[in-house]
Amino acid sequence: MPDRNDAALEFLLSRRSRPAKTLTTPIPTQADLAPIFEAALRTPDHGKLEPWRLIVLGREALKGLGTLAGERAAALGLDEVQTEKGRNQFDTGNLAVVVVESPVDSPKVPAIEQTYSAGAVCLSLLNAALAAGWGANWLTGWPAHDRAFVETGLGLASHESVVGIVHIGTEKFAPPERPRPNVEEKVTWRLA
């Protein structure tokens, strides 16, 4: 019988993202973020390609991105609701970590597996921040998929994309639990 890590299992069974709009200061320092990043970057990585990178955004950088999101929304002809939704995470955020998929040309590792690895970094980053006691939330939104926004605002190369924007801070209050998937409805057993 394997050794159980009951504390880790209990954390995973009870983990809950914190809505980004409920996160406030204080935010983690660079020293606080170091073990979170170390944990996040231990993600499954087929072929050891490391097809991802992180960009840490502080308050002033986020405000600038909020302005850029507003400009891009106007250029795209988005309505007020879409504009507000695109700007909000930047206008109200204090610290966010952008997970960038930066695929590597590889004859052995399909591009989709590199995308999965970058997604795994997002979840690992989210869970590591929560385990460290911070509130955290993984977002994207239309700006994360707008080429002009990500290239101008984040400096992404043409082959890169945003997989997630993980906001980290102090939670104002614990959110209520939400309904979870029914395991019996989502799991199919084929043992023979």
Contact by Cβ (8 Å): 62, 131: no
Residue 33 in domain: yes
Identify the CATH number of the domain in which residue 165 sits: 3.40.109.10
Under DSSP, is residue 136 helix (H, G, I), strand (E, B) or coil? strand
How many angstroms separate the first and last alpha carbons of the chain? 23
Residue 12: inside a domain = no
**Cα distance between residue 177 and residue 66, in whole Å:** 30
192 found inside a domain = no
Let me know if residue 14 belongs to a domain.
no
Whether 62 is in a domain gets the answer yes
How many Å is the Cα radius of gyration of the chain? Answer: 18
77: CB partners within 8 A, 6+ apart: none
Average pLDDT, the chain: 96
pLDDT at 167: 98
Please check if 46 is assigned to a binding site.
yes
Predicted model pTM: 0.95
Q: Has residue 183 been placed in a domain?
A: no
Q: Is residue 180 in some structural domain?
A: no
What is the predicted pLDDT for the residue at 175? 83
190 is in an annotated binding site: no
Which long-range contacts does 60-67 make (Cβ < 8 Å, 24+ apart)?
62/89, 62/90, 62/91, 62/93, 62/94, 62/95, 62/96, 63/90, 63/91, 64/153, 65/90, 65/143, 65/149, 65/153, 65/154, 66/90, 66/91
Amino acid at 182: N
Asked which of 51-60, 69-78, 173-182 is least confident by mean pLDDT, the reply is: 173-182
pLDDT in tens, 7-39: 999 999 999 999 999 999 999 999 999 999 999
140 annotated to a ligand binding site: yes
16 is in an annotated binding site: yes
Q: What is the structure's pLDDT at 163? A: 98
pLDDT in tens, 104-153: 999 999 999 999 999 999 999 999 999 999 999 999 999 999 999 999 99
15: annotated binding-site residue?
Answer: yes
Residues counted in the chain: 192
Range(s) of the domain holding residue 29:
20-172
Share of the chain above pLDDT 70, in %: 100
Any domain includes 6: no
Structurally, the chain folds into a number of domains equal to 1
Amino acid at 178: R
Residue 53 among known ligand-binding residues:
no
